[in-house]
Structure 1
Amino acid sequence: MSGDRIRKVLGGTLTYGFVGIMSFLSIFPFVWMVIGTTNSSIDIIKGRLSFGAALATNIHGFFSQVDAPLIFWNSAKIAILSTVLTLTVSSFAGYGFEMFRSRFRERVYSAILLTLMIPFAALMIPLFVLMGHAGLINTHLAVLLPTVGSAFIIFYFRQSSKAFPSELRDAAKVDGLKEWQIFLFIYVPVMRSTYAAAFIIVFMTAWNNYLWPLIVLQSNETKTITLVISSLASAYYPDFGVVMVGTVLATLPTLIVFFLMQRQFVQGMLGSVK
Structure 2
Amino acid sequence: MFCASTNRSIDVIAGKLIPGTYLIDNFKALIAQQNLRLALCNSFRNATVLTILCLLVCSIAGYGFEIYHDKAKDAVFTVLLTAMMIPFAAIMIPMFRMFSQLKMVNTMAAFMLPSISTPFMIMMFRQASRSFPHDIIEAARLDGLSETGIFFRMYMPTMKSTYAAATIITFMNAWNNYLWPKVILQNNESITMPMLVANLLGGYTVDYGVLMLGVFICTIPTAIIFFCFQKSFTEGITGAVK
Common topology (TM > 0.5) = yes
Q: CA deviation at 1:211?
A: 0.8
Q: Which runs of 5+ in 2 are unaligned?
A: none
Q: Which runs of 5+ in 1 are unaligned?
A: 1-32
Q: CA deviation at 1:160?
A: 0.3
Match of residue 256 from structure 1: 224
The answer to which structure, 1 or 2, has the higher relative contact order (CA under 8 A, 6+ apart) is: 2
Name the amino acid aligned to 2:150: I
Match of residue 202 from structure 1: 170
1:71 aligns with 2:57: no
- Describe how 1:38-49 pairs up with structure 2 within 5 A: 38-49=6-17
Q: CA deviation at 1:109?
A: 0.5
Alignment partner of 1:53: what SS? coil
| Larger Rg over CA atoms | 1
Q: TM-score, structure 2 length as denominator? A: 0.98
Name the amino acid aligned to 1:111: V
Match of residue 57 from structure 1: 25
| Deviations, residues 247-268 of structure 1 (Å, cap 9, x unaligned) | 1111110011110111011221
Alignment partner of 2:84: what SS? helix
Match of residue 124 from structure 1: 92
RMSD between aligned residues: 0.9
Match of residue 154 from structure 1: 122
Match of residue 238 from structure 1: 206
Q: CA deviation at 1:67?
A: 1.7
Alignment partner of 2:145: what SS? coil
Q: CA deviation at 1:69?
A: 1.7
- Describe how 1:168-207 pairs up with structure 2 within 5 A: 168-207=136-175
Match of residue 163 from structure 1: 131
In the alignment of these two chains, the number of paired residues is: 242
Match of residue 240 from structure 2: 272
Alignment partner of 2:189: what SS? coil
Q: TM-score, structure 1 length as denominator? A: 0.87
- Describe how 1:203-218 pairs up with structure 2 within 5 A: 203-218=171-186
Name the amino acid aligned to 1:251: T
Identity of aligned residues (%): 44
Alignment partner of 2:204: what SS? coil
